[in-house]
Chain A
Amino acid sequence: MLAYIVRRILYAIPILIGVNLLTFALFFVVNTPDDMARIHLGAKHVTPEAIERWKTEHGYDKPLFFNQVEQGVGKVSDTLFVDKSLKLFAFSFGQADDGRDIAREIGVRMWPSLAIALPTFLVGLMAYISFALVMVFFRATYLDFAGVVVCVVLMSISGLFYIIGGQYLLGKLWHWVPVSGYEPGWVGIKFLLLPILVGVVSGLGDSSRFYRTLFLEEIHKDYVRTARAKGLSERAVLFRHVLGNAMIPILTGAVVVIPRLFLGSLILESFFGIPGLGSYTIDAIQAQDFAIVRAMVFLGSVLYILGLLLTDLSYTAVDPRVRLE
């Protein structure tokens, strides 16, 4: 087991290097620091000196891969590639354009993100499974058909509609919850209810329909027929046998997203004014702050690979037939 984990972590290294090279190519080779400086300075203030000054201030005044001026190891190490890209591996993200430390910001902002993403994930999973089970319980009846129709309709509505509609209906018209905002601690819970609800509803159609298919696949298997033939009630069959076995693909499919919950949801956070990592990223994209975008890309990949590892481990946890060698 331990050997397997170590090997998987070693496999992750080339992937992270690939991500690193790709982002470096995008942000430094295709789009040189000179271009960045020009964008940030605005058309009026572009002079060669101003560009040089901007680059020095933000630490972009080095060659890409090879520094001719330096001596010895410095020829390779004192370059943009090492400085801006390789240092990400040590989780040293450097500074944003406004001078703040990115790593510290991430540490502060990941909690609001989690406060939304974790409940959304858990409540969502339960809601989707319950809805799917109800549909399967009433399978081949009009209730089941109506459920599928509801799912397809929900799937076809833009996620933005749920947000805007929810804010208008629950926030503005009925005054149940504040339209947007955030406060840490238990007092802030009223701000979280609506985003969580919207997050759950916007995934309802897609996931419930998918889970329903998984359940139906399971329900046609021989062991279920045997269970029924032994005289088990439909409820016992559904909950003990079908649910238990269908949970394997559901759980392993869900595990991969758990680490990424830290990154939060871009759209939800920016609409509801939650100071999490999602809105941080959106702000960075809109302000063209490449340092933050780069850091988030790297972090996202690390968390994804972690998710893949967790998925494999969760197979052994829920399915005793699977052994990791």
Chain B
Amino acid sequence: MSFRPEILWSDALLFLLLAAVLAFVLHVRRHEHLRAPWLRVAQSRMGVVTAVILAGYAAIGVLDSLHFRPALPVAAREPVQYGNEVLSVLDVLAEPLRLRVETTYSEPFALHLYAKENLSLPDGGQMRDYPRLKYGGAHLADTAGRAGDIAWRAAVGVLWGAGLAFGFWLLAALSQAWRARGFVPAITQLLRAPEAAAWRTALVTLSLLLVLGSVLGRLSLDYHILGTDKVGQDVFYLSLKSIRTGLLIGTLTTLIMLPFALFLGVAAGYYGGRVDDVIQYVYTTLNSIPGVLLIAAAVLVAQVYVETHPELFDTAAARSDLRLVFLCGILGVTSWTGLARLLRGETLKLRELEYIQAARAFGVANLRILSRHILPNVSHLVLITVVIDFSGLVLAEAVLSYVGVGVDPTMASWGNMINGARLELAREPMVWWQLAAAFLFMFVLVLSANLFADSVRDAFDPRAGGRA
């Protein structure tokens, strides 16, 4: 099958972000004093565990950001045509989940639909009953054997996961074999040495994640493990797709907001006077507008723009993607003020310190003082704020989507899942799985982000360390 890679705006920004992170990591690795606080993060078990979980989310998000358009089936010797459907690598990996669409709601692990339908009997008559699902548990001839079948498949999944995890442990040992002079010493070192504690924690977490992932993966091949939604789509698949949306909102917003906050905050604090007045005026004005309303106003305006210019977007994915990027932009514009104020205050303090005064007395140019002396000394604040803001943004997406000014309604996101399921709560029996799935995926991500933020803050901010 031939395909054409498709880079959406958000993909491009995400890759830019990844490149920036990579450059940052390389930069940190080369400098002892920058490495020290990260080693402190690695020493806290919580920091390592949550980092691995976050990396797992990020991996799914990145897989879902490699987009392409598959070629349409055409007769031989005709030019290749590409469809309007944009797929991602994750879509291909989860193809069984994506394509096995039932007709409407069904419970997790259900064999039957949620609603009764008219069924025609073999003898020509009709009866009203819950029809069997087309895919969920379709391999079972006897519905009574479901529990045993699930247990057996889960056990197979555990074995797969354990095998994969074992592979990772071997890989980790192998990578150290050269330094430890031999494979066996490398293994004992990995299992015993106190210096390898962080690696052990990471590998244990990874192993548990792999086992959990392969159990879920194995089961989801034959069942809808989190049920299906109104149009019969697998909820587990939708939750996985939503990861990318949540991560993008949390990270792209930061990417867009950082230059504003850094430049304006530091400039206001360093130059003072007129510059300070103008920048303070700008952020007080922006701050004084209720955040949700400013976002709503901007998104409404963008919506009108998109509706009146349909010719600019060739696929539905491009349209909803641009809305996502736009939403990140607006969130960035409304959220840079907090960090800018923080940086202004810190720069005001730093400006009066002796080493800055000395640099000035030596005639070092302002821009050079800013980049060499001020920026490195406020960078811990930036990092802490970025990590703390992330979880708030992920939660904000759900609320904004509920208000109707979030991501495009056609895009998979936890907010849209909650919004869609909300109206079905009144039904009897309750349709709870869609809500539960969205809240669970969001909760794990936000909790990990919060805990990770705590260890980052403890490691980077010595004053808050130990007390908070």
Residue numbers of A with Cβ under 8 A of B are 14-15, 18-19, 22-23, 26-27, 30-31, 35-36, 38-39, 152-153, 155-161, 164, 167-168, 209, 213, 216-217, 220, 260, 263, 266-267, 281-282, 285-286, 288, 290, 293, 296-297, 300-301, 304-305
Contacts and interface: CB of A to CB of B under 8 A. Distances in A.
Interface stretch (B27-35, B351-359, B364-372, B396-404): B396-404
Given A18-B281, A18-B285, A216-B467, A35 B304 contact: yes
Q: Which interface residue of B284, B288, B297, B414 has the most chain A CB atoms within 10 A?
A: B288
B59 interface: no
Contacts of B399: 158-160, 267
Interface of B: 281-282, 284-285, 287-290, 292-294, 296-298, 300-301, 304-305, 307-308, 391, 395, 398-399, 402-405, 414, 418, 422, 425, 430, 435, 439, 442-443, 446-447, 450-451, 454, 464, 467-468
Given A213-B468, A288-B300, 8 more contacts: A14-B281, A18-B285, A19-B288, A156-B447, A158-B446, A285-B403, A285-B404, A300-B289
Contacts of B398: 158, 160
13 contacts: A15-B281, A26-B301, A27-B297, A36-B304, A164-B425, A220-B467, A260-B290, A266-B403, A267-B399, A285-B296, A300-B289, A300-B290, A300-B293
Contact of B289 (A38, A157, A297): A297
A306 to B, nearest CB: 10
A27 B301 contact: yes
Task: Tell me if B's interface is mostly helix, strand, loop or mixed.
Answer: helix
B404 A217 contact: no
A152 B443 contact: no
A35 B285 contact: no
Contact of A296 (B293, B395, B422): B293
Nearest to B295: A285
Contact of B467 (A36, A152, A213, A297): A213
Contact of B297 (A18, A23, A36): A23
Contacts of A31: 300-301, 304-305
Contacts of B450: 152, 155-156
Nearest to A288: B300
A229 B305 CA distance: 68
B403 A15 contact: no
B395 A158 contact: yes
Contacts of B296: 285, 293
B456 to A, nearest CB: 14
A220 B402 CA distance: 44
Q: Which interface residue of B294, B391, B398 has the most chain A CB atoms within 10 A?
A: B294
Contacts of B305: 30-31, 35
A152 B294 contact: no
Contacts of B293: 281, 293, 296-297, 300
A152 B287 contact: no
Given A35-B308, A158-B442, A213-B468, A26 B297 contact: yes
Contacts of A260: 290
Contact of A152 (B281, B284, B439, B454): B454
Contacts of A18: 281-282, 285
A293 B281 contact: no
A260 B290 CA distance: 9
A15 B284 contact: yes
A266 B289 contact: no
A39 B304 contact: yes
A38 B305 CA distance: 11
Given A267-B403, A290-B300, A297 B290 contact: yes
Given A39-B307, A156-B447, A266 B292 contact: yes
A161 B439 contact: yes
B443 to A, nearest CB: 6
Contacts of B298: 26
Nearest to A297: B293
A122 to B, nearest CB: 21
**What are the 5 tightest A-B residue pairs by CB atom distance, in nearest-first order?**
A300-B290, A18-B285, A156-B447, A301-B288, A156-B446
A286 B404 contact: yes
Q: Which interface residue of A38, A157, A158, A260 has the most chain B CB atoms within 10 A?
A: A158
Contacts of A38: 308
Contact of B285 (A15, A281, A286): A15
A5 to B, nearest CB: 17
A285 B290 contact: no
A158 B404 contact: no
A152 B290 contact: no
Contacts of A158: 395, 398-399, 414, 418, 439, 442-443, 446
Contacts of A288: 300, 304
B178 to A, nearest CB: 41
Contacts of B443: 156-158, 161
Contacts of A167: 425
A305 B288 CA distance: 7
Contacts of B418: 158, 160, 164
A156 B403 contact: no
Contacts of A157: 439, 443, 446
Contacts of B425: 164, 167-168
A297 B422 contact: no
Nearest to A157: B443
Contact of B300 (A159, A213, A293): A293
Nearest to A14: B281
Contacts of A27: 297, 301
A164 B451 CA distance: 25
Contacts of B290: 260, 263, 296-297, 300-301, 304
A213 B458 CA distance: 13
B173 to A, nearest CB: 34
A267 B406 CA distance: 14
A7 to B, nearest CB: 15
A152 B297 contact: no
A112 to B, nearest CB: 18
Contacts of A164: 418, 422, 425, 435
A13 B201 CA distance: 57
Nearest to A39: B304
Contacts of B307: 39
Given A152-B447, A152-B451, A285 B300 contact: yes
A288 B304 CA distance: 10
A203 B388 CA distance: 16
Contacts of A39: 304, 307
A58 B243 CA distance: 43
A24 B281 CA distance: 18
Contacts of A266: 292, 403
A301 B290 CA distance: 7
A156 to B, nearest CB: 4
A12 B435 CA distance: 44
Contacts of B304: 31, 35-36, 39, 288
A282 B288 contact: no
A220 B288 CA distance: 35
A156 B391 contact: yes
A298 B356 CA distance: 42
B288 A15 contact: yes
A253 to B, nearest CB: 14
